[in-house]
């Protein structure tokens, strides 16, 4: 077995909240010394010491993280916000130093952690391509050999000689990803920046990352999109509160994360000011529900299940179409459903709050965990106003009882869906 290209041992990163320790200036030193003398004088004269100033509070973003990545592996990193994912990538990218432990990287590393990382705003797109290439250790000849591919992938040809400070966030992202992906580093570190681009660009980037993985280069990919993790990565690392909860095959780790209750749940509500959307429509609430109106995390395979979305229309005269995207534990899209309610088909919705529910019939879904992406679009012209990935999740279970059960077999059946079909057997000859 070869040597790992990334080796992490006992990695920890500690941050301090509140006051910072130490005294950087002479004035700080003098103030601290005078305060200490004053406290001692009060104690000697029986006046009681003034309370010590509250010290800084420590928080460990990472603790005792250890793993190896072999050359050519594509590894996903998952976990809730604040789990330590971005801190891990910043340490691997040498942006920040660890508090404890060590990291060994055996190869050139390209990082795409934030929109425009490593770009100089006053330089043009052309100049930033060469600047980023030089930072990655590429020669000018190597950069020139791939220059046309980078420009074509980023699709910024008309703006190539424009300072990047005038680029939109989408143009920034396209160029940054194109540079990182085409200059062929041995290690590519990618955070959840692909969410900035449009759907077509995201698909283009995911396809490019698949191609990079096939060439034997190593990728570390952080994302909340579990379908992208299971589609791109053979392996996943689940972080929770700065520690490694699980490390193994991507589908198994994603399933464990979802089933733990730490990941996406059966109901999600957004407060005012934090709801996803735009000036046209914003989400308010999404949940998984039974016919009796109760929210459910687990669904009997025989019963219908509804996905209910409440949303607020802010701009009138738009024909809005809510739609749901269902994904299984392997990240496979099971099916997509659009709102076909005849009462609102081709009709614009006035401003106000609405609730749309799609019902999946019983004896249709296969057993297992499903996550649901929620989107609201207009079709003429086509525009996605909100797309919330992994909005809710639920588990389909079979209790193997009753006339509509699948018979005496007790194992899990393969397949994306598991419809209960009508069978008929005729005696042709006795």
Q: What is the DSSP letter of 261?
A: S
**272 to each of 285, 309, 390, how far by Cα in Å?**
11, 16, 20
> In whole angstroms, what separates CA 225 from the centre of its chain?
5
Name the DSSP letter for residue 349. B
- Mean pLDDT value of segment 27-50: 66
Q: Is the pLDDT of residue 328 over 90?
A: no
Query: Tokens 């390209």 — which residue?
Result: 110
**Helices 125-135 + 169-182 axis angle, to 10:** 40
C-beta atoms surrounding 234 within 10 Å? 14
Average pLDDT of span 321-350: 90
Give the pLDDT of residue 176.
81
Domains and CATH numbers, the chain: 59-259 (3.40.50.300), 267-397 (2.70.50.60)
pLDDT number for residue 349? 92
| Closest by Cα among 174, 164, 183, 165 to 125 | 164
pLDDT at 65 over 90: yes
> Hey, how many other C-beta atoms are within 10 angstroms of the C-beta on 154?
24
Indicate whether 196 pLDDT > 70: no
pLDDT value at position 252?
79
What pLDDT score was predicted for residue 54? 46
Instruction: State if pTM tops 0.75.
Output: no
Query: Looking at residue 334, what is its pLDDT?
Result: 93
- State yes or no: pLDDT of 19 exceeds 80: no
pLDDT in the model for residue 26: 63
What is Dmax (Cα atoms) for the chain?
113
Q: Which of 392, 396, 393 is nearest to 419 (CA)?
A: 396
Alpha-carbon distances, residue 119 vs 63, 236, 305 (angstroms):
31, 30, 48
Whether the Cβ atoms of residue 375 and residue 384 lie closer than 8 Å to each other? yes
Is residue 270 predicted with pLDDT exceeding 50? yes
d(CA 138, CA 144): 10
- In the chain, % of residues over pLDDT 70: 82
Task: Reply yes or no on whether the pLDDT at 21 is more than 70.
Answer: no
* The predicted structure's pLDDT at residue 22: 52
- pLDDT tens by residue, 355-366: 999 999 999 998
Q: Say yes or no to pLDDT of 217 above 90.
A: no
Give the model's pLDDT for residue 45: 66
The per-residue pLDDT for 404 is 46
Residue 359 token pair: 């019902």
Residue 138 pLDDT > 70 = yes
Place of tokens 């160029």: 175
Of 210 and 85, the structure prediction assigns the larger pLDDT to: 85
Q: Is the dihedral of CA 394, 224, 337, 210 positive or negative?
A: negative
> What is the per-residue DSSP string for 107-154?
S-EEEE-STTTT--TTSBHHHHHHHHHHHTT--HHHHHHHHHHHHHHH
Residue 144 reports pLDDT greater than 80: yes
**Tens of pLDDT along 245-265?**
999 988 778 777 766 656 667
Cβ–Cβ under 8 Å, residues 89 and 83: no
pLDDT at 96 exceeding the cut of 80:
yes
Q: What is the DSSP annotation of 289-316? A: E-TTS-B-SEEETTS-EEEEEEEEE-SS
pLDDT in tens, 99-129: 999 999 988 887 777 655 667 889 999 998 9
117 vs 275 pLDDT, higher one: 275
Say what the pLDDT of residue 134 is.
Answer: 82
Does the pLDDT value for residue 44 go beyond 80?
Answer: no
Instruction: Tell me the CA distances in angstroms from 231 to 203, 225, 265, 322, one per residue in order.
Output: 12, 10, 22, 25
**376 vs 173 pLDDT, higher one:** 376
Report whether pLDDT(197) > 60: no
More confident residue, 275 or 30: 275
Rounded Cα distance between 231 and 221, Å, is: 12
Which pLDDT band holds residue 181 (cuts at 50, 70, 90)?
confident
Q: Using one digit for the tens of pLDDT, what is the confidence trace for 218-237? A: 989 888 777 678 777 889 99
Q: What is the pLDDT of residue 350?
A: 93
pLDDT value at residue 173: 77
Mean pLDDT in residue range 192-221? 73
**From CA 241, how far away is CA 60, in angstroms rounded?**
8
Where residue 193 falls among pLDDT bands split at 50, 70, 90?
low
């Amino acid at each position: 077995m070869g040597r790992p290209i990334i080796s992490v041992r006992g990695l920890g990163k500690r941050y301090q909240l509140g006051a910072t320790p130490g005294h950087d200036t002479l004035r700080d030193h003098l103030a601290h010394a005078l305060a200490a003398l004053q406290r001692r004088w009060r104690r000697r004269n029986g006046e009681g010491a003034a309370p010590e100033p509250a010290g800084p509070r420590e928080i460990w973003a990472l603790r005792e993280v250890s793993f190896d990545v072999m050359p050519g592996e594509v590894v996903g990193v998952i976990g809730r916000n604040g789990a330590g994912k971005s801190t891990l990538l910043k340490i691997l990218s040498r942006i920040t130093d660890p508090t404890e432990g060590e990291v060994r990287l055996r190869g050139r590393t390209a990082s795409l952690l934030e929109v425009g990382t490593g770009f100089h705003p006053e330089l043009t797109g052309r100049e930033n391509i060469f600047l980023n290439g030089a930072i990655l250790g590429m020669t000018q000849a190597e950069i020139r050999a791939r220059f046309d591919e980078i420009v074509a992938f980023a699709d910024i040809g008309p703006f190539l000689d424009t300072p990047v400070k005038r680029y939109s966030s989408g143009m920034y992202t396209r160029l940054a990803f194109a540079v990182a992906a085409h200059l062929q580093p041995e290690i590519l570190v990618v955070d959840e920046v692909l969410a900035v681009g449009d759907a077509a660009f995201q698909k283009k980037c995911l396809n490019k990352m698949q191609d990079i993985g096939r060439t034997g280069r190593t990728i570390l990919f952080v994302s909340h999109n579990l379908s992208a993790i299971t589609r791109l990565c053979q392996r996943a690392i689940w972080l929770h509160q700065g520690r490694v909860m699980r490390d193994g095959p991507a589908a198994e780790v994603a399933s464990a994360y979802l089933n733990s209750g730490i990941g996406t749940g059966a109901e999600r509500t957004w407060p005012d000011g934090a709801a996803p959307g735009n000036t046209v429509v914003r989400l308010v609430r999404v949940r998984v529900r039974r016919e009796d109106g109760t929210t459910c995390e687990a669904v009997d395979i025989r019963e219908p299940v509804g996905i209910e979305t409440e949303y607020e229309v802010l701009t009138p005269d738009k024909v809005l179409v809510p739609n749901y995207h269902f994904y299984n534990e392997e990240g496979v899209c099971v099916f997509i459903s659009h709102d076909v309610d005849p009462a609102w088909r081709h009709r614009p919705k006035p401003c106000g709050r609405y609730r749309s529910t799609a019902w999946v019939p019983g004896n249709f879904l296969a057993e297992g965990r499903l996550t649901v992406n929620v989107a609201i679009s207009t079709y003429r012209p086509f525009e996605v106003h909100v797309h919330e990935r992994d909005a809710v999740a639920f588990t389909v279970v079979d209790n193997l009882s009753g006339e509509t059960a699948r018979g005496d077999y007790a194992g899990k059946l393969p397949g994306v869906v598991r419809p209960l079909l009508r069978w008929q057997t005729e005696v042709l000859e006795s």
